Amino acid sequence: MRLAEAESLMLNIGLVIFAGFIFFIIYDLAKKSKAGKFGTLVLFFALGLGLAAFLLKTVVVEMIEGGHV
């Protein structure tokens, strides 16, 4: 495995871990603030939308540069 392939693999793994950690933070925030079911849904939607935009931007940039996703 070449260095570039290893870096790409570790970046993808790191992004998955980062996304999981962000969702844990949102869940913990909802739990500590006693947001309830609707409040938790709103938190996951609003804050998760920011994470989704970040990940979507990464995919779009890779597609524009001609790389494989």
Domain definitions of the chain by residue range: 3-64
Q: How far apart are CA 29 and CA 33, in angstroms?
A: 6
pLDDT per position as a tens digit, 14-65 = 988 988 998 899 999 999 999 999 999 999 999 888 888 988 888 888 888 8
Cα dihedral 18→20→23→25 (10° resolution): -70
Is the overall model pTM greater than 0.75, yes or no? Answer: no
More confident position, 11 or 28: 28
Give the per-residue pLDDT at 41: 93
pLDDT band at 66 (very low <50, low <70, confident <90, very high): confident
Looking at the predicted structure, is the pLDDT value of residue 69 above 60? no
